[in-house]
């Protein structure tokens, strides 16, 4: 029998893996069982963090010009958005024994900034000590997707940000990083999302049902 308790679920993966879609499906499936949850995202989730998202996810300077944010400026903006998100949304929700479903969290920072852009890992680790406040996901889903499926989904998007326009080689490298992060961790579930169908939706809900003792 389900007993109300704080529970933090994170979906991770490269662009076009279907994590936003599956996180929405999980929220709906929980609601069918009479269980309310909070669906949020990173960067974003609060008014302040969404403002930072708008700044870092669009092509903020002309493509013809070489001027871009330094990778550490870029990383600090992501971490600033996370600080706002944790302080004003995630932590209060968990304190009130809510289920929080988040589209991206700290593993995206590791995959993209540390492994992808070679930002110093200790730099991020030290800042996380202050902003995470011992908050850790109970379950993390890594959605693994084929290059073909990812490419097709990105083509269908009506609005795209700068991360949707990277070459497939970047996504392949990022996906390897996510798989490396998940290796040998009991609360990580790597699932193939190339088809993003009902079977995947059912697998995700079954895993969460086991954790939350939902019948």
Q: Are 150 and 17 in contact (CB under 8 A)?
A: yes
Please give the Cα distance from 138 to 196 (Å, whole number): 23
Please give the Cα distance from 157 to 16 (Å, whole number): 9
Please give the Cα distance from 114 to 118 (Å, whole number): 5
Q: Which of 44-58, 63-77, 117-131 has the highest average model confidence (pLDDT)?
A: 117-131
What's 12-78 look like in SS3? ECCCCCCHHHHHHHHHHHHHHCCCCEEEEECCCCCHHHHHHHHHHHCCCCCCCCCCCCCHHHHHHHH
CATH class, 7-212 region: alpha beta
pLDDT above 80: residue 149: no
Axis crossing angle, helix 71-85 with helix 121-131, rounded to the nearest 10: 20
Please give the Cα distance from 96 to 142 (Å, whole number): 27
Give pLDDT tens digits for 115-125: 988 999 999 99
- pLDDT averaged over the chain? 89
Reduced to 3 states (helix: H, G, I; strand: E, B; else coil), residue 9 is strand
Q: Are 9 and 210 in contact (CB under 8 A)?
A: no
- In our burial notation (b when 16+ CB lie closer than 10 A, e otherwise), range 107-137 reads bbbbbbbbbbeebeeeebeebbeebbeebeb
Element (DSSP H or E) covering residue 140:
strand 139-144
Q: Which of 26-30, 32-36, 166-170 has the lowest mean pLDDT?
A: 166-170
Reduced to 3 states (helix: H, G, I; strand: E, B; else coil), residue 161 is coil
pLDDT above 80: residue 50: yes
159 band by pLDDT with thresholds 50, 70 and 90: low
CB atoms within 10 A of CB 84: 21
The candidate with the shortest Cα–Cα distance to 22, out of 211, 212, 191, is 191
Q: What pLDDT is attached to residue 85?
A: 98
Phi, psi of 51 (to 5 degrees): -65, -40
Query: DSSP character for 79?
Result: H
47 vs 154, more confident: 47
Q: What pLDDT is attached to residue 150?
A: 66
64 band by pLDDT with thresholds 50, 70 and 90: low
Give pLDDT tens digits for 162-208: 655 666 777 788 899 999 999 999 999 999 998 877 899 999 999 99
User: pTM of the prediction?
Assistant: 0.90
Q: Tell me the domain boundaries of the chain.
A: 7-212
pLDDT above 80: residue 45: yes
Please give the Cα distance from 86 to 148 (Å, whole number): 35
Give pLDDT tens digits for 76-130: 999 999 999 999 999 999 999 999 999 999 999 999 999 988 999 999 999 999 9
């Amino acid at each position: 029998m389900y007993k109300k308790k704080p529970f933090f679920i994170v979906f991770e993966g490269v662009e076009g893996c279907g994590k936003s879609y599956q996180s929405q499906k999980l929220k709906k499936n929980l609601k069918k069982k009479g269980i309310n949850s909070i669906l949020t995202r990173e960067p974003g989730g609060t008014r302040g963090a969404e403002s930072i998202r708008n700044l870092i996810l669009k092509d903020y300077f002309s493509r013809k010009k070489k001027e871009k944010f330094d990778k550490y400026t870029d990383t600090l903006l992501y971490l600033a958005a996370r600080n706002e998100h944790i302080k004003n949304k995630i932590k209060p929700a968990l304190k009130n024994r809510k289920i929080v479903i988040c589209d991206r969290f700290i593993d995206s920072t590791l995959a993209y900034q540390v492994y992808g852009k070679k930002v110093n890992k200790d730099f991020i680790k030290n800042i996380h000590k202050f902003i995470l406040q011992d908050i850790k996901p109970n379950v993390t889903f890594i959605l693994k997707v084929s290059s073909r499926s990812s490419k097709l989904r990105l083509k269908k998007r009506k609005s795209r940000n700068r991360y949707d326009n990277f070459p497939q080689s970047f996504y392949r490298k990022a996906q390897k990083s996510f798989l490396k992060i998940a290796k040998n961790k009991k609360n990580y579930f790597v699932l193939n999302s190339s088809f993003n169908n009902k079977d995947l939706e059912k697998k995700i809900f079954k895993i969460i049902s086991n954790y939350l003792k939902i019948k």
